[in-house]
């Protein structure tokens, strides 16, 4: 079975970085990998975040911090909250908060 995933190029504002972000309509939150946060020294805030179960139903992530990011996607300036977690190979995941904000229609 072939997997078709949608990625967007995300330029972080105030940081010289362009990241590849997975767009995931099944994610109820935006998530950024903890190593990405560490690499770019992004300011982190502690929180009692959500407990996230991934699509495999077995992997559970505990989010206890978040970052607020300004970023540019396709020339559009966005600002969102991203929970910090170890999310495997993805630098960041743009979930439903992003999709609802840009009001996207995906076929």
d(Cα 47, Cα 32) in Å, to the nearest integer? 15
Q: Determine the structural domain holding residue 77 and report its residue range.
A: 6-101
Residue 85 lies in a domain: yes
Residue 107 lies in a domain: no
| pLDDT tens series, the chain, 107 aa | 447 889 999 999 989 899 999 998 888 899 999 999 999 999 999 998 777 776 666 667 778 899 999 999 999 899 999 999 988 889 999 999 999 888 754 54
Residue 56 lies in a domain: yes
CA distances from 97 to 37, 41, 101, 107 (A): 19, 23, 6, 18
User: What was the pLDDT predicted at 81?
Assistant: 95
How many folded domains does the chain comprise? 1
Residue 1 lies in a domain: no
pTM: 0.85
Residue 63 lies in a domain: yes
CATH number of residue 11's parent domain: 2.40.70.10
Q: Is 59 helix (H, G, I), strand (E, B) or coil?
A: coil
Residue 106 lies in a domain: no
Residue 44 lies in a domain: yes
């Amino acid at each position: 079975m072939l997997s078709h995933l949608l990625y967007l190029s995300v330029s972080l504002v105030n940081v010289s970085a362009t990241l590849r972000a997975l767009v995931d309509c099944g994610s109820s939150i935006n998530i950024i990998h903890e190593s990405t946060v560490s690499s770019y020294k992004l300011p982190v805030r502690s929180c009692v975040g959500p407990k996230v179960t991934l699509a495999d139903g077995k992997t559970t992530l505990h989010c206890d911090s978040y970052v607020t990011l300004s970023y540019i996607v396709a020339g559009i300036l966005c600002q969102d909250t991203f929970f910090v977690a170890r999310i495997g190979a993805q630098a960041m995941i743009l979930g439903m908060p992003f999709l609802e904000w840009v009001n996207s229609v995906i076929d």
